[in-house]
Amino acid sequence: MNNSCNKKSRGVWIRAGVLLAALVGVPLALPALAATGSAAAVQQAVRAQVGQPLRAAQQLAKERKFAAARDKIRAASAVGGLSPYESFLIERVRAFVAASSGDEKTLTTSLTAVVGSGFLAPADRLRMMRALAGTYYREKHYGRAAQWADRVLHDGGPDPAMQDVAIDSRYLRKEYGPAVQALHQLLAADAAAGRTPSEAHLQLLLSCEDHLGNRAGAADALDRLLAAYPKKEYWHLALARIESNPKFPDRLGLDLLRLRLALGLLTQESDAMTMAQLDLQAGFPAEAQKVVDAAVADGVFGKGPGAARERRLQALVRKDLAEDRRDRAGDMVEAKKAHTGEALLNIGFNDVLNGNAAAGLPRMERGLQQGGLAHPEDGRLHLAIAYWMAGDATKALAAFRRVGGTDGAADLARLWAAHIAHPQRG
């Protein structure tokens, strides 16, 4: 999946049976009413020379004899002095034949005339307008599709299919701003009703925000996808976006790999090698040991051409881990002498990585309180990760949400929080 989720096509065309039934719905009043009839009745009178060929055209279309049906419509159209109602019926039957035969160009022309005639009942008018929106959409006339969909929504109220026509049409016309505005209205309605938002709507929102270059809006759309549909493909996308951000600092590379490991996405030999090596450089051999053990258990290590290199790494990890445990007391002495909380924070994190959260978490908290950190938001991120590693998801979630800054720690913290609140599936 690329960095912009593809918009999934959705059905927007009114069912043919519904449309055809609506087009046939008005009876052809034959013969013409007497002069003594009311003005309203006279207005809707149909002369025999108009009505009979139209009835025949309907029947011929049902028998799929479309050429003959069109001949009958031409005969009705050739009658002189057509009343507005007779013209309306001619266009209605013409639309029926066009819909039956798949002639969508004629269908849109005739439906437009039918809708504008003033003779349709409100419910029929809405159905015809929906048909026009759907037909224009299918014919890729997206401007007209959006206009007719808007008219349906204005006259008939909420209509999911027409909302999709209007939004999709604007997206396809590259009118991303109006599409985003409409999508936010739909998402707000979903939230108010307690509904899970449509995955397709969220994908479309992400794509629109990407086209607009709105990084914050795209991040919010992807967060919504992770919350509602925490699929592996969206996690890959979220991590790739962070990694590809030119402003993402190298010093947080290990933290990005930690998140991959937590998500079960550290599946490449190169990633496992890199994480273990970065752990050793950072003074966290206990975590490096967990990484290589998981790589062996999952078959990431031991099966490819790099087996010898992997064995050397495993030996180095064991050596560093033994030295680290031997030197722990000395490290604490040095940390107490330090003027900043950096060393105490790292020692506490190492305690947690070694399975001693009872000692490690208070040390990390004191290190943060002591201050003087080069990157305090990194420290807050590490404390939140430590809470999670210690099994306190509630405390971890609150801590992740307190991580701020603009250089990457907050982005990672936001994804960690999403992982805790909405575990990956699929």
Return the closest-CA partner of residue 209 out of 249, 181, 169.
181
User: Residue 114: exposed, middle, or buried by beta-carbon count in 10 A (0-12, 13-18, 19+)?
Assistant: buried
pLDDT at 1 over 70: no
CB of 426 closer than 8 Å to CB of 231: yes
User: With bands split at pLDDT 50, 70 and 90, how would you rate the model's confidence at 4?
Assistant: very low
Q: How far apart are CA 92 and CA 113, in angstroms?
A: 8
Res. 2 pLDDT band, cuts 50 70 90: very low
Section 249-274 average pLDDT: 95
What percentage of the chain reaches a pLDDT higher than 70?
Answer: 89
Q: What integer pLDDT is reported at residue 300 of this predicted model? A: 92
Asked whether residue 290 carries a pLDDT value surpassing 60, the answer given is yes
DSSP for 42-53? HHT---HHHHHH
Q: Is 156 exposed, middle or buried (0-12, 13-18, 19+ CB in 10 A)?
A: middle
Task: Please enumerate, as own/partner, the contacts of 69-74 that have beta carbons within 8 Å and a separation of 24 or more.
Answer: 69/97, 70/97, 73/97
Please give the Cα distance from 269 to 42 (Å, whole number).
84
Which residue has tokens 């013209």? 87
Q: Tell me the pLDDT tens digit for each residue of 199-246.
A: 999 999 999 999 999 999 999 999 999 999 999 999 999 999 999 888
Please state, in angstroms and rounded to a whole number, the distance separating the CA atoms of residues 301 and 271: 11
Q: Tell me: the pLDDT tens digits for 115-141?
A: 999 999 999 999 999 989 998 999 999
Nearest to 179 by CA among 44, 378, 7: 7
Query: Rounded to an integer, what distance in angstroms lies between the CA atom of residue 395 and that of residue 178?
Result: 40
Residue of 307 and 424 predicted with greater confidence: 307
Rounded to whole angstroms, how far apart are CA atoms 24 and 54?
Answer: 11
Is the previous residue joined to 376 through a cis bond, with omega within 30 degrees of 0? no
Q: What is the mean pLDDT of the chain?
A: 89
- List the alpha helices (DSSP H) in 10-159: 16-24, 39-43, 48-62, 66-77, 84-101, 104-115, 122-138, 142-156
Whether residue 203 contacts residue 6, with contact meaning beta carbons closer than 8 Å, is answered with yes
Region class of 14: left (phi > 0), else alpha (psi between -120 and 50), else beta: beta
Q: What is the structure's pLDDT at 325? A: 87
Confidence of residue 19 (pLDDT cuts 50, 70, 90): low
Would you state the pLDDT for residue 34? 35
Q: What's the CA gap between 175 and 208, in Å, rounded?
A: 9
* Half-sphere exposure in the Cβ direction for 194 (13 Å, CA): 0
Q: Which of 36-40, 61-65, 396-400 has the lowest mean pLDDT?
A: 36-40
pLDDT level of residue 334 (50, 70, 90 thresholds): confident
Place of tokens 């437009």: 112
pTM of the predicted model as reported, rounded to 2 decimal places: 0.81
Q: What is the pLDDT of residues 173-197, one digit of tens each?
A: 999 999 999 999 999 999 999 999 9
Q: Calculate helix-pair angle for 253-263, 376-389, nearest 10 degrees.
A: 20
Q: How far apart are the first and last CA of the chain?
A: 15
Note the pLDDT of residue 407: 86
Q: CA-CA distance, 355 to 332, in Å (whole number)? A: 17
Which whole number is the average pLDDT over 324-328? 85
CB contact at 8 A, 186 and 201? yes
Cα→Cα distances 415→205, 412, 423, Å: 19, 5, 11
pLDDT value of position 60: 95
- Please classify residue 174 by burial: count the beta carbons closer than 10 Å to its beta carbon, then call 0-12 exposed, 13-18 middle and 19+ buried: exposed
CA distances from 271 to 61, 254, 292 (A): 66, 10, 11
What is the pLDDT at residue 358? 96
Q: In the chain, what percentage of residues exceed pLDDT 90? A: 78
